[in-house]
């Protein structure tokens, strides 16, 4: 029986586990993959205070290191269901059921798919969702990046170190990305833009991506253009499949909490990207992690009998 189980070892979950561990609680951190979450997909983080810049995996390592010192147990597995009959929370995994007095949900978000023909067929054969993981395989090629947010523009910049050119195709004529990131992209000679346009199909031969069908949403004009790779960054979906039956999510699947990170279910907290909120960042994730780590301590103190 744990005092709390934190589900997801991204920056939010690791911080919550740190705070709960420092309060001398019995804490488990359940993660289905490698700790660090989405931070593992980015080479350069420039907006985490205290570091001028640091790679995502390096920051993940630094967040993970102190957890052992405070007795946090690391469990490998995927939460498939959260059962809430009675005061004890039962976390179902493929390997069995874990029990805790409180749960902190920190499952984060996953990249959204475009859902167009060819996307699945050429996944890992020219279609990628992770420039840091796959960029080096595309040396000297002409690449297409889909999207206009921070991820698309920042990762397009990252890809310029390998690619001949990087073209960003965006469905509007203005980027959503932060101004500082936009300015860098506009100043980079390798980056081109296709505005007001969407990708309709990704085509190739038996082996790899070769062409992309692009439609201008204003003029209706359709063109076929050659690209060696397509990197897709069109936003995020909540990783909440395992808790959608609990009535704590909004229509889009994000978890609703109060300002103390508590859901409407007593003893169940949610933090980080998985929450319904405006700003999905590492800084906001760790702040919410701290609040929930302290929150479970307060909850357990109040419900001690
Ligand atoms: P996540 O990082 O998504 O971690 C969630 C964890 O939960 C994952 O490890 C996942 O495997 C695990 N998990 C999910 N479901 C389950 C389950 N059922 N059972 C067990 N484990 C589960 N933010 C910045 O502030 N600065 C940046 O420079 C920056 N760059 C970015 C670049 C890219 C390409 C991307 C994709 C994001 C970037 N972000 C950046 C955003 C930032 O990474 C996220 O806001 C942050 O990681 C969210 O943290 P989190 O802990 O809430 O969730
Ligand atoms: P995002 O901010 O939601 O942006 C998604 C982009 O994709 C938008 O420009 C959107 O267009 C476009 N888009 C959505 N659906 C589309 C579709 N079906 N077809 C074509 N285009 C589509 O997502 P993100 O860029 O992945 O960022 C996610 C979160 O991580 C954000 O909170 C972001 O701030 C954070 N992040 C931060 C940093 C950083 O701080 N350096 C870096 C990366 C990510 P519209 O603009 O028209 O909606």
Q: What is the pLDDT along the chain (305 residues), one digit of tens a residue?
A: 999 999 999 999 999 999 999 999 999 999 999 999 999 988 889 899 999 999 999 999 999 999 999 999 999 999 999 999 778 999 999 999 999 999 999 999 999 999 999 999 999 899 999 998 889 999 999 999 999 999 999 999 999 999 999 999 999 999 999 999 999 999 999 999 999 999 999 999 999 999 999 999 999 999 999 999 999 999 999 999 999 999 999 999 999 999 999 999 999 999 999 999 989 999 999 999 999 999 999 999 998 86
List the end-to-end C-alpha distance of the chain, in Å, as a whole number: 16
Report the pLDDT value the prediction gives residue 305, as an integer from 0 to 100. Answer: 67
Task: Kindly write down the DSSP assignment for every residue of 26-84, as one continuous string.
Answer: -EEEEESS-TTGGGGG-S-B--STT-S-B-HHHHHHHHHGGGGGGTPEEEE--EEEEE-
Q: Which domains does the chain have, with CATH numbers?
A: 2-110+236-302 (3.50.50.60), 113-232 (3.50.50.60)
Distance 256 CA to ligand 2 centre (A): 21
Report the pLDDT value the prediction gives residue 85, as an integer from 0 to 100. Answer: 79
Strands 222-226 and 209-216: antiparallel
Q: Does pTM top 0.75 for this prediction?
A: yes
Contact 291, 21 (CB under 8 A): no
Q: Which of 213, 247, 211, 209 is nearest to 226 (CA)?
A: 211
Tokens of 140: 């000297």
Q: Which residues line ligand 1 (CB under 6 A)?
A: 7-13, 30-33, 37-39, 41-42, 45, 47, 78-79, 106-109, 151, 155, 239, 242, 272-274, 280-283, 285
Name the residues annotated as catalytic: 130, 133-134
Report the pLDDT value the prediction gives residue 215, as an integer from 0 to 100. Answer: 98
Report the pLDDT value the prediction gives residue 86, as an integer from 0 to 100. Answer: 79
């Amino acid at each position: 029986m744990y005092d709390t189980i934190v589900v997801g070892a991204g920056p939010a979950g690791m911080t919550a586990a740190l705070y709960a561990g420092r309060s001398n609680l019995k804490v488990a951190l359940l993660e289905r993959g490698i700790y660090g979450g989405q931070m593992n997909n980015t080479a350069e983080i420039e907006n985490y205070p205290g570091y001028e810049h640091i790679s995502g995996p390096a920051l993940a390592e630094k967040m993970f290191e102190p957890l052992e010192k405070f007795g946090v147990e690391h469990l490998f597995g995927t939460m498939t269901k959260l059962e809430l009959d009675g005061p004890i929370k039962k976390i179902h995994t493929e390997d069995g059921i874990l029990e805790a007095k409180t749960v902190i949900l920190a499952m984060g978000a996953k990249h959204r798919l475009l859902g167009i023909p060819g996307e699945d067929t050429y996944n890992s054969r020219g279609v990628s969702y992770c420039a840091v993981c796959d960029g080096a395989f595309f040396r000297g090629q002409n690449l297409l990046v889909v999207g206009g947010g921070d991820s698309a523009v920042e990762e397009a910049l990252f890809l310029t170190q390998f690619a001949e050119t990087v073209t960003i195709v965006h469905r509007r004529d203005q980027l959503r990305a932060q101004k500082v990131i936009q300015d860098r992209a506009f100043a980079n000679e390798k980056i081109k833009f296709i505005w007001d346009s969407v990708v309709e199909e990704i085509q190739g031969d038996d082996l790899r991506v070769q062409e992309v069908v692009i439609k201008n949403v204003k003029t209706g004009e359709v063109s076929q253009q050659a690209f060696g790779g397509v990197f897709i960054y069109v936003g995020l979906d909540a990783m909440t499949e395992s808790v959608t039956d609990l009535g704590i999510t909004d229509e889009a699947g994000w978890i609703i909490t109060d300002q103390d990170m508590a859901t409407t279910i007593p003893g169940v907290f949610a933090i980080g990207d998985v929450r319904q909120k405006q700003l999905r960042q590492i800084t906001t994730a760790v702040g919410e992690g701290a609040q929930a780590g302290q929150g479970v301590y307060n909850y357990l103190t109040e419900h001690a009998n």
